[in-house]
Structure formats: structure tokens, C-alpha cells
Amino acid sequence: MTRGVASQGAPEDDDRRGSHRDASPASVAADDGEADVQRRVDDVSPAQADDIEAEGAEAAPAEVAEPDPLPDAQVEHVVILEPPAPVNTDRLVALTSSLRHVGSKPVRIEVERLGSHWGPLTAGEKAVRIRCSLLLANRQGPLNAVELSDFNAAIESLASKLQAPVNIPDMAPILRNARDLDTLAARLDTQIEVRVELPEAAEPNRVAGVVRHLGLSERGNGRYEAFADSGDSLFTLAFNQTRDQIDFMLDVPRTAEKYEAWEGMVACAQSMAQALGGRLVDSSGRGLSVGMIGTVSRQLARRYAELAQVGLAAGNAAALRVFH
């Protein structure tokens, strides 16, 4: 079941549940000056779809210690093959070339090298074991029976070619784990949007100067992205077709808390608004007050803590796979 963004905390309708899922930005607007950080919802009741201000009442404080990332088995279905003799990885590259995705779910192929440790499959080496990891859920929804059946068939074929024993487990518990992970991810998935409204279409040359000054990277078609020094993405922004509006979006589970990307995005939006003579607003067109900015900061601290508690700390390897 495809996960989607609920509108102002309302449950999704059936059509949206059956459609392709794109990560939509969340509104920071709310009644009485409170910011409503909206998120994707799958099989969540209207009560559960209330804003995370209420949801955070029972959440652990943000200062919790971040645990190690989830073991692969909790976000992926893992099968390990052990051939009777070491296998040339050149051959493995060829044999697994079509086993990179099943449906909408990626497959990671790793090998245990002769006399070494596990690592990505690369040519020119000898492998004593092969690990095939199928993602249980992502923003396209949970792993389904067809995808799992295709994966099992590919694994059995690979095992046969390598003369490796293989035990294909029962599908039911794997699919149940996939649905559980998808439901958890839907509850925690959050995108936040702010907007700069311009009095008229922005001149390309003027925009280019502002973008250079702010250190943004161009992505084409009026889209830009901000990166940390490490190369990690922080937030994106895009002009509308008439170039009189700029939408800024922070993808919370994919952006590590340490970067303080919300504060950085707001500062960037404020700079753009000042440079281009625009006005900073929320996604409903209301002015973004200092109080609303602070409210979102507090909500995000709780959300980051929740993600870390379940091993999906924002920006870690497991989160990047599940929230993709």
C-alpha cells in the first residue's frame, strides 16, 4: 500500500493509497499560531494523524542517546549463500546484474571476501559468501508478495548456478515485518515546507547572483539544493512556473539532526525574501512568525528523538533506505 501525505491531518482516501507516492512537503501552518508538521500516513486513524505536538507528549526527550542503526534484518530481508568453493566476483557481477531491484524494492549484493570482511560486490576478487538484502519497505510502500516471490525465484536461480544450498523461508512473516516497518515509517515520515512569495517574476540574472551568494547548487528547471560540507543534502527549493514563488522543503528523516537544517532553511528563505523583495510565509500563505519557527523547532526535536529511538535516526543508512 503506497504511503501518502495526509491533508491537514485527515486520513487518506482510497485513490491516494493506490497511487504512486512522492514525498510531499508538510505545512508549518496551524490554527492559533501552532505549527502543524504534516507527515505521510498509512493505515493511521484520524486521531493518530493529529499533529506531532500532541503526539510528542509521550515521546522521550530529544537528548536521548542515539542507538546503533537497525540491523539489516529489521529493515531488509537477508539471504546468505555459501558456495562450496570461493567464487570469482567477476562471475558474481554478471550473475547478479539483473538482481538489483524487484519491483520498487532495491536489493543490495554484498560479499565476504576471501580472508577479509563483508563489503559491496566488486570485480577482481574471490568471495566465500554472498549476502542478498531486499528492502522491506520504502516510500513506495511495503514489500509485497509478488516482489518477494520474484526475489525468491532469483535467489534460487543464483544458488543453483553457484551450487550453494539455500533455504527459502515462509513468506508470511517476512511480509508481516514489511507491513509493520511501513506503518512505523509512515507515522514518522515528515517533510516541512516554507515559501517565499515574490511581487513579480524573478529575473534569472538576479536569482543567479543570490544563489551564488547563498552557496546553493543548481539542479535545473528552477530547482536548487543546499548541501553540508560533508556532501549530505540539507534542503531543496524550487521556483514555480511563473517564477513568483519559491518553495523550500526539508525532508526530515533523510537529514541528520546535527545539521540543524530547519534553522538553515529558514535563514536561507529569509535571505532570498530580502534579496528578491519577497515575503516569507508558510504553505498556506500566512506570514511565518518567530513563534511558529520556534514551535516547529520543538516539534522537530521530538521527531528526531522518535526516529533515533527506533533505530532510524535521521540521515543514517537505514533511514536513507526506508525513507526513499
- Each residue of 144-194: pLDDT tens digit? 999 999 999 999 999 999 999 999 999 999 999 999 999 999 999 999 999
Name the domain count of the chain.
1
Cα angle, residue 50 at apex, residues 47 and 52 outer, rounded to 5°: 135
Query: How distant is the alpha carbon of residue 297 from its chain centre?
Result: 19
Q: Could you tell me if residue 130 is inside a domain? A: yes
pLDDT digits (tens, 9 = 90+) for 108-155: 999 999 888 899 999 999 999 999 999 999 999 999 999 999 999 999
**Is residue 189 included in any domain, yes or no?**
no
Query: Is the pLDDT at 269 greater than 60, yes or no?
Result: yes
C-alpha to C-alpha distance for 154 and 59, rounded to whole angstroms? 42
Among 110, 63, 122, 89, residue whose Cα is nearest residue 308: 63
Portion of the chain with pLDDT greater than 90, in percent: 74
- Three-state secondary structure readout of 80-136: EECCCCCEEHHHHHHHCCCCCEECCEEEEEEEEECCCCEEECCCCCEEEEEEEEEEC
Domain span at 121 = 72-171
Write the DSSP string, 7-59: STTPPPPHHHHTSPP--PPPB---GGG-----BEESS--TTTTS-HHHHGGGS
Does any domain span residue 262?
Answer: no
pLDDT of residue 74: 83
Q: Give which of 89, 157, 158 is closest to 119, Cα–Cα.
A: 89
Q: Is residue 110 part of a domain?
A: yes
Supply the pTM of this predicted model.
Answer: 0.79
Whether 109 is in a domain gets the answer yes
Q: Which of 163, 158, 80, 89 is nearest to 121 (CA)?
A: 89
How do the residues of the chain divide into helix, strand and coil, expressed in percent and rounded to 5? 35, 25, 40
Lowest mean pLDDT among 53-62, 96-105, 140-149, 265-274: 53-62
Return the CATH number at 165.
3.30.70
- Domain assignment of residue 2, yes or no: no
- Does residue 91 belong to any structural domain of this protein? yes
Residue 23 lies in a domain: no
